[in-house]
Amino acid sequence: MRVAPFLHWMHQLLLGTCIVFAQAPLHATEIDWLAIGDARGFIAPCGCDPHTDLGGIKRIATLLHREHLTHPAALILHLGNSISLLPEDARKNTFIQKALAELPLTASLYNEGELLHPEGLADLPYVLSNAKKKGVYQSMRRVSTYEIWGFTWAESIESQVETWAQFESAHHSEWEKTDPAIQRILLFSGPTSMLQAASHHPWALIVSANTNKYGDAIGDEERKDPARLVRLDHPFVRMVPLAGQGVLRGGSLTLSDTPSLASLLQPDASTQIKNTPRSPLERIEITWLDTQYEEASPAAALFAQYEKEEAEFFEQQREKKKREQAESPFAGSAACKGCHASAYGIWEHSKHAHAYGTLQDKNKHHISECVGCHVVGFSKPGGFISAEDTPHLAGVQCENCHGPRKAHSMNPTLKGEAATPCVACHKQPHSPAFSESTYWEKIHHGR
């Protein structure tokens, strides 16, 4: 039956854009909207693997500014969770907050991440929250004919936010007033039970965030199977792609033949807005933010400043770390060579040995968030400081896996720690192709 749409879908899949046909909602109304969220601290993709070279705030900014120029009436909805929860990312978060504040957002849900790190953002007029603390946040924003509501619930913020039942009893009467001139939209993040309860009300659209735990990023599977992201089990509910790797779009917006952001910013640019005729079925698209969205990011200057400050911070840390170096428990691979010649020979020819050079080639060797997995003991006393101070600890070495071994290399009867699991570093989104057996095969040594 639906051969043509299927072929179209396959075609789009090959082009990198997925179109998902969902059940037509009962109260179908045409709303042009884009939804982003879940960047989870990624300014740009790490670049560790081309398959996960997607997303990040920089690319989100490119796409949103371009869409805002070509489709000024489209609602731009942010589902939150775009900052990092790692304590060492506090410096980075301030830049992410600034970049978010410059996006042309219509509404922004104050999600788990923002509630756990409440600095910044809250005072922006479009931030929505069901936090119990009243007067700081609003739970609804009206924009032209839309009422946009925001709701979040997670165990970690249980004491801070209303449950769905509390939120519902506070606003029930407002939602029951049907006004044909008003379309109600809900930005939702929370457990399925609450989502089900929420969908009993006649929302024109519910956009639901991902509720995967912080730190759980995505692999290939969701991209191969967009139905895992765009949930079709509840009418009206749409899911934002995980980890900020893509943008969801609904309504009649179209992506094809959109001019580049750079050309739109030319003073004489004529904007051509293309509205595709709507299919009788509700249509949702996912645009994966691949390398083409790298161009002309409005957030580029801000994040260049972040990298500059990171490099300065890296330099400042050197003196302090040098004082700890005298008692370093790390020896470096060269110290193992004499007694473990075969293991050394295998390591020397593996990619691990060149992992620091990889960062230098990308000029990311002063960015702390990159260095940790590409050198020995970066966050540990006596570990890697810089290529100048500790050249013997650059790259992934024996001691990344076998723990500090200086004492053992001087007295081999001293045993060390058990091997560190590969997945400490070979995790998403850094190593999407990792499998214990095929990877170990390439560096196999010992018994």
- Interacting residues toward ligand HEC by CB under 6 A: 46-49, 331, 333, 335-336, 338-340, 343-344, 347, 351-352, 354-355, 358-359, 362, 364, 367, 369-370, 372-374, 396-402, 405, 408-409, 412, 415-416, 419-420, 422, 424-427, 430-431, 433-434, 439-440, 442-443, 445-447
Nearer to ligand HEC, 161 or 355 (CB): 355
Nearer to ligand HEC, 178 or 342 (CB): 342
Closest separation in Å from C-beta 293 to ligand HEC: 17
Closest separation in Å from C-beta 308 to ligand HEC: 15
Closest separation in Å from C-beta 219 to ligand HEC: 12
Nearer to ligand HEC, 130 or 333 (CB): 333
Round the CA-based radius of gyration of the chain to a whole number and report it: 25
**Two structure tokens written together for 199:** 């969908």
Closest separation in Å from C-beta 101 to ligand HEC: 23
Cβ within 8 Å of residue 100, ≥6 positions away: 57, 78, 82, 108, 121
- Cα angle 363-309-53, degrees, rounded to a multiple of 5: 45
Closest separation in Å from C-beta 228 to ligand HEC: 22
Rounded alpha-carbon distances, angstroms, from residue 175 to 140, 141, 201: 12, 14, 7
User: How many angstroms separate the first and last alpha carbons of the chain?
Assistant: 58
Are the beta carbons of 311 and 47 closer than 8 angstroms?
A: no
Nearer to ligand HEC, 8 or 392 (CB): 392
Nearer to ligand HEC, 208 or 397 (CB): 397
Closest separation in Å from C-beta 352 to ligand HEC: 5
Closest separation in Å from C-beta 81 to ligand HEC: 19
Q: Can you tell me which residue has the tokens 């009867």?
A: 413
Of 445, 27, 11, 39, which is closest to residue 241 (Cα–Cα)?
39
Nearer to ligand HEC, 63 or 335 (CB): 335
Nearer to ligand HEC, 89 or 168 (CB): 89
Closest separation in Å from C-beta 366 to ligand HEC: 11
Nearer to ligand HEC, 206 or 401 (CB): 401
Are the beta carbons of 25 and 235 closer than 8 angstroms?
A: yes
For residues 21 and 253, give the distance between their C-alpha atoms in angstroms, rounded to a whole number. Answer: 15
Closest separation in Å from C-beta 297 to ligand HEC: 16
For residues 101 and 129, give the distance between their C-alpha atoms in angstroms, rounded to a whole number. Answer: 16
Are the beta carbons of 226 and 18 closer than 8 angstroms?
A: yes
Q: List b or e across 120-156, with b for residues whose CB sees 16 or more CB atoms inside 10 angstroms.
A: bbeeeebbbbbbeeeeebebebeeeebbbbbbbbbee
Rounded alpha-carbon distances, angstroms, from residue 245 to 51, 83, 85, 170: 11, 14, 18, 35
Nearer to ligand HEC, 240 or 367 (CB): 367
